[in-house]
Structure 1
Amino acid sequence: MRPRRAGRLAATATLLALVTAPLAATGAGAAADPVIDVGARPLGVAFSADGSQAFVANNDDSTLSVIDPATATVLATIPTSPLPFGVTTSPGAPTLVYASTTGAGPTIPSVDLIDPATASVTRLTGPLGNPSGVAADASFVYATNATGQFTRWPTGGGAAQGCELQTPTRGVVLVGTTAYVTQNALNSVAVIDTTTFACPPVAPAIPVGTGPWGIAYNPVRGEVYVVNATSATVSVISTTTNTVVETLPIGPGGRTVAVSPDGDRVYVTETDGLLLVLNRADPALGGTAVVGAGSEGVAASSDGVHVYVTNATDGTVTPFTRPTVTAPADASVAPDTAVTFSVTPAGDVTGLQWERSDDGGATWTPIPGATGTDYSLTATLADDGAQFRAVASSIVFAGAVSGVAALAVAAPPVPPTPAPSPSPTSPTLAVTGSTSGSLALLAAGLVAVGALLVPLAARRRPAR
Structure 2
Amino acid sequence: MRFSIHEHFQLAHRSGDGRLPFLQVTDVQADVLKPKLKRLHGSGRSRLYPGALTALAASLISVMVMPTTAQADTPPGTYAYVTYGADAVAVIDTATNSVSATVTVGDIPVDVAVTSDGSEAYVTRDQQAAVSVIDTATNTVSHTIPVVSRGEGVAVAPDGSQVYVVHRNADTVSVIDTATHAVTGTVPVGHNPSGAAVAPDGAHVYVTNLSSGTVSVIETATHAVSTIGVGAHPYGVAVSPDSGHVYVANNAGSISVVDAATNAVSTISVGGAPDHVAITPDGAHAWVTDLAGHSAWVIDTASNTVSATLPLPGSPFDIAITPDGARAYISGFSANGPVTVIDTATHAVTQAASLGGFARGIAIGTITVPTADLEVELTAQASGLLFSAVTYTMTTSNHGPQRLQSATVTLTYPQGLTSPSAPGCTVNPSTRTVTCPISALTPGASATRQITTQAHLLALGSQTATATRTTSAPADPNHTNDTATATCQALTTLLVTC
Report the TM-score range of the alignment, normalised by the length of the smaller protein: 0.5 to 0.7
Residue 267 (structure 1) aligns with: 329
Comparing 258-267 with 206-215, which one deviates more in the overlay?
206-215
Residue 190 (structure 1) aligns with: 256
- Give the match's secondary structure for 1:33: strand
2:353 to 284, 289, 292: 289
| 1:34 partnered with 2:98 | no
Rounded to whole Å, the distance in 1 between the matches of 2:136 and 2:95 is 22
Rounded to whole Å, the distance in 2 between the matches of 1:119 and 1:302 is 21
Q: What amino acid is the match of 1:153?
A: I
Rounded to whole Å, the distance in 2 between the matches of 1:172 and 1:27 is 24
Residue 130 (structure 2) aligns with: 63
| 1:46 partnered with 2:113 | yes
| 1:276 partnered with 2:365 | no
Deviation at 1:282, TM superposition (A): 4.6
Residue 418 (structure 1) aligns with: none
2:362 to 289, 298, 305: 298
Checking the alignment, whether the CA contact within 8 Å between 1:30 and 1:290 is kept in structure 2 is no
Q: Deviations over 1:336-375 (max 9, x none)?
A: xxxxxxxxxxxxxxxxxxxxxxxxxxxxxxxxxxxxxxxx
- Give the match's secondary structure for 2:247: strand
| 1:96 partnered with 2:162 | yes
Comparing 149-158 with 44-53, which one deviates more in the overlay?
149-158
- Give the match's secondary structure for 1:64: strand
Q: What amino acid is the match of 1:152?
A: V
Q: Which structure 1 residue ranges, 4+ long, deviate > 4 Å from structure 2?
A: 26-31, 282-285, 302-305
1:126 to 182, 188, 198: 188
Residue 428 (structure 1) aligns with: none
Rounded to whole Å, the distance in 2 between the matches of 1:173 and 1:45 is 15
1:177 to 217, 238, 244: 244
Q: What amino acid is the match of 2:168?
A: T
Deviation at 1:232, TM superposition (A): 1.1
Rounded to whole Å, the distance in 2 between the matches of 1:259 and 1:293 is 22
Q: What amino acid is the match of 2:183?
A: V
Rounded to whole Å, the distance in 2 between the matches of 1:48 and 1:28 is 20
- Give the match's secondary structure for 1:39: coil
Comparing 154-163 with 249-258, which one deviates more in the overlay?
154-163
Checking the alignment, whether the CA contact within 8 Å between 1:28 and 1:290 is kept in structure 2 is no
Q: Deviations over 1:298-353 (max 9, x none)?
A: 01114589xxxxxxxxxxxxxxxxxxxxxxxxxxxxxxxxxxxxxxxxxxxxxxxx
The CA RMSD over aligned residues, in Å, is 2.4
Checking the alignment, whether the CA contact within 8 Å between 1:39 and 1:63 is kept in structure 2 is no
Rounded to whole Å, the distance in 1 between the matches of 2:218 and 2:348 is 43
1:151 to 216, 219, 222: 216
TM-score (norm 2): 0.51
User: 1 or 2 for the larger relative contact order (CA 8 Å, sep ≥6)?
Assistant: 1
Deviation at 1:136, TM superposition (A): 0.7
Residue 218 (structure 1) aligns with: 280
Residue 207 (structure 1) aligns with: 269
Deviation at 1:195, TM superposition (A): 1.1
Higher strand residue share:
2
Q: Structure 1 residues 112 and 27 mapped into 2: Cα distance closer, same or farther (>3 Å)?
A: closer
What is the total number of aligned residue pairs between the two structures? 270
| 1:167 partnered with 2:229 | no
- Give the match's secondary structure for 1:45: strand
2:317 to 237, 255, 263: 255
Deviation at 1:177, TM superposition (A): 1.1
Q: Structure 1 residues 304 and 192 mapped into 2: Cα distance closer, same or farther (>3 Å)?
A: farther
Structure 2 unaligned residues grouped into runs of 5+: 1-92, 370-498
Rounded to whole Å, the distance in 2 between the matches of 1:79 and 1:140 is 24
Give the share of equivalent positions with the same residue, in percent: 32
Checking the alignment, whether the CA contact within 8 Å between 1:98 and 1:114 is kept in structure 2 is yes
Deviation at 1:209, TM superposition (A): 4.1
Checking the alignment, whether the CA contact within 8 Å between 1:180 and 1:192 is kept in structure 2 is yes
TM-score (norm 1): 0.55
2:204 to 120, 127, 140: 140
Checking the alignment, whether the CA contact within 8 Å between 1:150 and 1:162 is kept in structure 2 is yes
- Give the match's secondary structure for 1:85: coil
Q: Deviations over 1:4-54 (max 9, x none)?
A: xxxxxxxxxxxxxxxxxxxxxx99999532310003111110110111111
Rounded to whole Å, the distance in 1 between the matches of 2:359 and 2:311 is 18
Residue 84 (structure 1) aligns with: 151
Rounded to whole Å, the distance in 2 between the matches of 1:233 and 1:80 is 34
Q: Answer with 1 or 2: which has the greater Rg.
A: 1
Rounded to whole Å, the distance in 2 between the matches of 1:265 and 1:304 is 19
Checking the alignment, whether the CA contact within 8 Å between 1:140 and 1:155 is kept in structure 2 is yes
Q: What amino acid is the match of 1:161?
A: S
Rounded to whole Å, the distance in 2 between the matches of 1:27 and 1:114 is 28
Checking the alignment, whether the CA contact within 8 Å between 1:209 and 1:231 is kept in structure 2 is no
Checking the alignment, whether the CA contact within 8 Å between 2:99 and 2:353 is kept in structure 1 is no
Deviation at 1:163, TM superposition (A): 1.5
Q: Deviations over 1:210-234 (max 9, x none)?
A: 0100110112361100001111111
- Give the match's secondary structure for 1:114: strand
Q: What amino acid is the match of 1:296?
A: R
Rounded to whole Å, the distance in 1 between the matches of 2:123 and 2:301 is 29
Q: What amino acid is the match of 1:214?
A: H
Q: Structure 1 residues 210 and 161 mapped into 2: Cα distance closer, same or farther (>3 Å)?
A: same
- Give the match's secondary structure for 2:148: coil
Rounded to whole Å, the distance in 1 between the matches of 2:95 and 2:224 is 47
Rounded to whole Å, the distance in 1 between the matches of 2:116 and 2:310 is 29
